[in-house]
């Protein structure tokens, strides 16, 4: 159990809507902070001005909040180590870059794009990996003067000391890199802005981040970052790299598998609480083997020991199942309210709140995502229903069906339309009366005539909600 002050962060780049992978990383950081009474920090990595957009910053805020991952410090709420947007932190990068230049851990590199391309080309011809030659490391004053007068703008390069670098990843275990294969890296671009590997170190250092929990796509960056910490003579934080999230076909999760942004999932009607529950089990497992849990319950049980270093598979079927569980457990008024935004095409004012609750409750067993609600309740709206030919052929046109409908119409005269229990009882009587016909000969034509479907809500609920006039009309239309 960590004893220091736990400070963890999520550092998304606002170049797109919040991706499920980033959301899972955010969640694991949040859980870690919750478990060990730490702080969870949101930092926006927007140094790449061309790819960053304010609308994505907003989407990141909204998506994290939607799934309940509130942050203790961040661009909107501030904090001791503000600002929390990289674009506003230039002074820190300048300061530390100057420090590294002064201590000799970094140097100006004046190489042009063409010169670097030529080095790369040579490496290719010689069939070796390109490693920057370091030729600007020991330039004479004259040479530097010459570059300046040519109008060249230098980058700042960090000298990577060649060595075997080991670190203990809290999820992956001991990892060793040969830094000789890296070559000196650019830390400040020629326009004066920092590169990712530099900015991330400076921010994590300044913000006193204790643990860096992130996706394993960043493992290869880690040695570079550790070397920068070492050059600055400061303590290196702990690293924990999460296995990737893969699609069920084991390829990288992408648009062709479905939604990839948290906001897309939420818009489709995955309940935020179901979605966050699902995310927690992408790579973590509960010691009690149970999977339906609130974030607080998960936080209590959470530890990095139970995080798998293998890839996690994003099982859409499992997400659907979990969403169904949450949908079935929601208080009905809450569910009805959440369904409201998917029912825009209907005039809801024709029903009272309790009737709407009844309607939604009657179909919720079949509801997987909230955006399916509109189709599931369609027959409760409007005067008539469409019945497709196949269903007509199968259950409505036989003489036997016509007889059932005619008898039902007569029987339904005396239904107690406001009392579902009574309708159930009256239905039982109707079935008695129709013997020797079996329920499967009696119910399908009635259901088809009333709903245009062969399955759906409890018929007594449908009859009660539709009321006598519409029941009569829909049955008569099929006599
Ligand atoms: N901006 C980086 C990303 O979104 C952050 C990486 C890190 O956590 O160090 O992948």
pLDDT, tens digit (0-9, with 9 covering 90-100), for 270-325? 999 999 999 999 999 999 999 999 999 999 999 999 999 999 999 999 999 999 99
User: Could you read off the pLDDT of 163-181 as tens digits, one per residue?
Assistant: 999 999 999 999 999 999 9
Residue in the block written with tokens 């119910």? 443
Q: Cβ distance 380 to 347 under 8 Å?
A: no
Name the residue at shortest CA distance from atom 3 of ligand 1: 12
User: Could you read off the pLDDT of 325-364 as tens digits, one per residue?
Assistant: 999 999 999 999 999 999 999 999 999 999 999 999 999 9
The predicted pLDDT at position 266 comes to 98
Whether 204 is in the pocket of ligand 1, judged by its Cβ within 6 Å, is no
CA of 239 to the centre of ligand 1 (A): 13
Whether 359 is in the pocket of ligand 1, judged by its Cβ within 6 Å, is no
CA of 11 to the centre of ligand 1 (A): 5
CA of 379 to the centre of ligand 1 (A): 49
Whether 374 is in the pocket of ligand 1, judged by its Cβ within 6 Å, is no
Query: How much is the pTM?
Result: 0.94
Name the residue at shortest CA distance from atom 9 of ligand 1: 200
In a domain, 332, yes or no: no
Whether 214 is in the pocket of ligand 1, judged by its Cβ within 6 Å, is yes
Is the same domain home to 391 and 430? yes
Is the same domain home to 195 and 301? no
Please report, rounded to a whole number, the percentage of residues in the chain having pLDDT higher than 90.
97
CA of 36 to the centre of ligand 1 (A): 22
Is the same domain home to 228 and 100? yes
Is the same domain home to 154 and 212? yes
User: Could you read off the pLDDT of 386-399 as tens digits, one per residue?
Assistant: 999 999 999 999 99
User: Could you read off the pLDDT of 117-128 as tens digits, one per residue?
Assistant: 999 999 999 999
CATH of the domain at 98: 3.40.50.620
The predicted pLDDT at position 3 comes to 63
Q: In testing the pocket of ligand 1, which one of 51, 214, 242 has its CB within 8 Å of the most ligand atoms?
A: 214
In a domain, 451, yes or no: yes
Is the same domain home to 98 and 68? no
Q: Is beta strand 245-246 parallel, antiparallel or unpaired with respect to 312-313? A: parallel
Please check the confidence at residue 4 and state whether its pLDDT lies above 80. no
The predicted pLDDT at position 254 comes to 87
Is the same domain home to 264 and 230? no
Tell me the residue range of the domain where 460 lies: 383-476
Please check the confidence at residue 2 and state whether its pLDDT lies above 80. no
Whether 200 is in the pocket of ligand 1, judged by its Cβ within 6 Å, is yes
**Count of the separate structural domains present in the chain:** 3
Pick the atom of ligand 1 nearest to 217's CA.
Answer: 10
Whether 13 is in the pocket of ligand 1, judged by its Cβ within 6 Å, is yes
Residues 55, 127, 164, 255: which is the catalytic one?
A: 255
Name the residue at shortest CA distance from atom 10 of ligand 1: 12
Is the same domain home to 276 and 201? no
Name the residue at shortest CA distance from atom 4 of ligand 1: 12
Is the same domain home to 103 and 82? no
Residues 6+ apart with CB under 8 A from 175: 166, 167, 168, 169, 219, 222
Strand partners, 312: 245
Name the domain boundary from 287, 313, 339. 313
In a domain, 68, yes or no: yes
The predicted pLDDT at position 285 comes to 97
Please check the confidence at residue 145 and state whether its pLDDT lies above 80. yes
Q: Integer distance in angstroms from the first to the last C-alpha of the chain?
A: 74
The predicted pLDDT at position 465 comes to 97
CA of 333 to the centre of ligand 1 (A): 40
Give CA 443 to chain center in angstroms: 43
Handedness of CA 157, 163, 168, 173 (dihedral sign): positive
The predicted pLDDT at position 479 comes to 94
Q: In testing the pocket of ligand 1, which one of 218, 220, 223, 241 has its CB within 8 Å of the most ligand atoms?
A: 218
Q: Cβ distance 20 to 215 under 8 Å?
A: no
CATH of the domain at 391: 1.10.10.350
Is the same domain home to 161 and 180? yes
Whether 424 is in the pocket of ligand 1, judged by its Cβ within 6 Å, is no
Pick the atom of ligand 1 nearest to 200's CA.
Answer: 9
Whether 11 is in the pocket of ligand 1, judged by its Cβ within 6 Å, is yes
The predicted pLDDT at position 1 comes to 65
Pick the atom of ligand 1 nearest to 212's CA.
Answer: 8
255 an active-site residue? yes
Q: How far apart are CA 157 and CA 132, in angstroms?
A: 10
Mean pLDDT computed over 32-40 = 98
Name the residue at shortest CA distance from atom 5 of ligand 1: 11
Mean pLDDT computed over 236-258 = 94
Please check the confidence at residue 49 and state whether its pLDDT lies above 90. no
Name the domain boundary from 313, 341, 364. 313
Q: What is the mean pLDDT of the chain?
A: 96
Is the same domain home to 219 and 110? yes
In a domain, 288, yes or no: yes
Please check the confidence at residue 209 and state whether its pLDDT lies above 80. yes
Please check the confidence at residue 67 and state whether its pLDDT lies above 90. yes
In a domain, 350, yes or no: no
Name the domain boundary from 218, 242, 266. 242
Q: In testing the pocket of ligand 1, which one of 8, 9, 12, 228 has its CB within 8 Å of the most ligand atoms?
A: 12
Burial code (b: 16+ CB inside 10 Å, e: under 16) for 400-433 equals ebeebbeebbeebeebebeebeebeebbeebeee
């Amino acid at each position: 159990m960590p004893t220091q002050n736990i400070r963890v962060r999520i550092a998304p780049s606002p170049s797109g809507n919040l991706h499920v992978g980033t959301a899972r990383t955010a969640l694991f950081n949040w859980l870690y902070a919750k478990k060990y009474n730490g702080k969870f920090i949101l930092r926006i990595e927007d140094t790449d001005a061309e790819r960053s957009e304010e609308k994505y910053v907003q989407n990141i805020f909204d998506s994290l909040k939607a799934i309940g991952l509130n942050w203790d410090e961040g661009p909107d709420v501030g904090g001791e180590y503000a600002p929390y947007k990289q674009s506003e932190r230039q002074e820190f990068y300048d300061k530390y870059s100057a420090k590294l230049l002064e201590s000799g851990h970094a140097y100006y590199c004046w190489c042009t794009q063409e010169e670097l391309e030529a080095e790369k080309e040579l490496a290719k011809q010689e069939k070796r990996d390109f490693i920057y030659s370091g030729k600007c490391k020991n330039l004479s004053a004259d040479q530097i003067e010459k570059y300046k007068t040519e109008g060249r703008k230098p980058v700042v390069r960090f000298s990577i000391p060649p060595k075997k670098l080991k670190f203990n990843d809290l999820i992956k275990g001991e990892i060793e890199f040969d830094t000789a294969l890296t070559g000196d890296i650019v830390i400040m671009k020629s326009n004066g802005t920092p590169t990712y590997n530099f900015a991330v170190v400076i921010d994590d250092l300044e913000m006193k981040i204790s643990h860096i929990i992130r996706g394993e796509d960043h493992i290869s960056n880690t040695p570079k970052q550790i070397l920068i910490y070492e050059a600055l003579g400061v303590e290196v934080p702990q690293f924990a790299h999460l296995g990737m999230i893969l699609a069920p076909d084991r390829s990288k999760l992408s648009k062709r598998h479905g939604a990839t942004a948290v906001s897309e999932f939420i818009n489709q009607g995955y309940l935020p609480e179901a979605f966050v529950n699902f995310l927690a089990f992408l790579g973590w497992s509960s010691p009690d083997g149970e999977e339906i849990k609130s974030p607080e319950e998960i936080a209590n049980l959470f530890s990095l020991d139970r995080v798998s270093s293998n890839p996690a598979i994003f099982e859409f079927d499992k997400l659907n199942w979990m969403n169904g569980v949450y949908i079935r457990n929601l208080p009905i008024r809450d569910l009805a309210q959440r369904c409201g935004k998917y029912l825009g095409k209907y005039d809801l004012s024709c029903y009272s709140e309790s009737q709407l609750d009844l309607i939604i409750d009657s179909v919720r067993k079949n509801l997987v995502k909230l955006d399916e609600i509109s189709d599931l309740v369609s027959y409760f709206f409007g005067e008539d229903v469409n019945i497709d030919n196949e269903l007509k052929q199968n259950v409505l046109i036989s003489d036997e069906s016509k007889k059932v409908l005619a008898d039902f119409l007569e029987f339904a005269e005396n239904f107690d339309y406001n009392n579902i229990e009574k309708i159930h009882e009256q239905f039982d009587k109707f079935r008695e009366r129709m013997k020797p016909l079996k329920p499967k000969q009696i119910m399908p034509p009635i259901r088809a005539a009333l709903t245009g479907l062969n399955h759906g809500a409890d018929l007594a609920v449908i009859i009660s909600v539709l009321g006598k006039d519409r029941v009569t009309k829909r049955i008569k239309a099929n006599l």
